[in-house]
Amino acid sequence: MGNIQVKQQGLPRQTSAPSRWEPSRWLSRMMAWDPFREMTPFTVDEPLRFEPAFEIKETKDSYVFRADVPGIKQSDLEVNLAGNRLTVTGKREAEVEDKGDTYYTYERSYGSFTRSFTLPESVNTAAIHADLRDGVLSVVLPKSSESLAKKIPIGTPAEKKS
């Protein structure tokens, strides 16, 4: 059994017995090892695909979508809503390559992307807004007033009779 890390007040704590040597686990790790994996980006002819990282969070009154889209102009981004489906589409153009330049590594990715998300029924579609600032696309989807939590007062049975 492997060690499981449990954080308690920010400090990691070991929760299992000391690990022992398990030949079957060692063998499976060795069989999965690929010594050429580190060289794969240099041997593959197709460029890396560009896929921005998204962060989605729910607050008490809205859903907030954020995407890292550095180097993408506002005119190259599109946010669409169809029914309960939010779609974000964009593209990042490759820089002009000078044939006289020598590249030692080429890890930046370019191209088009499309991401779609199914939204809950509680979104107020009339009040959605998006903005692009410092390479971060933010889309705020407010919740409808019917879906927001309401505090219900608790009364005694005697109060209900009068």
Mean pLDDT, residues 63-77 taken together: 93
Numbers of helices and strands, H then E, in the chain: 3, 9
Between 151 and 61, residue with greater pLDDT: 61
DSSP string for 12-36:
EEE-SPPP---HHHHHHHHHH--TT
Reference 124, options 55, 58, 62; nearest CA is: 62
Report how far residue 30's alpha carbon sits from residue 27's, in angstroms, rounded to the nearest whole number: 5
From start to end of 18-110, where are the E strands? 54-58, 62-68, 77-82, 85-92
Whether residue 14 is contained in a domain is answered as: no
Whether residue 123 is contained in a domain is answered as: yes
Report how far residue 125's alpha carbon sits from residue 143's, in angstroms, rounded to the nearest whole number: 9
pTM: 0.60
Whether residue 42 is contained in a domain is answered as: no
Domain of 52, CATH number, reads: 2.60.40.790
In the chain, the number of structural domains is 1
Whether residue 110 is contained in a domain is answered as: yes
Whether residue 10 is contained in a domain is answered as: no
Report how far residue 62's alpha carbon sits from residue 154's, in angstroms, rounded to the nearest whole number: 27
Q: How many CB atoms lie within 10 A of CB 91?
A: 15
**Residue 87 sits in which domain range?**
47-96+103-142
Whether residue 150 is contained in a domain is answered as: no
Report how far residue 151's alpha carbon sits from residue 78's, in angstroms, rounded to the nearest whole number: 38
Mean pLDDT, residues 116-143 taken together: 92
Whether residue 70 is contained in a domain is answered as: yes
Largest CA distance in the chain: 90
Over residues 5-55, the pLDDT tens digits come to 444 444 444 445 556 777 777 776 777 766 666 555 554 455 567 889 999
Reference 60, options 149, 153, 128, 138; nearest CA is: 149
Whether residue 122 is contained in a domain is answered as: yes
Between 84 and 97, residue with greater pLDDT: 84
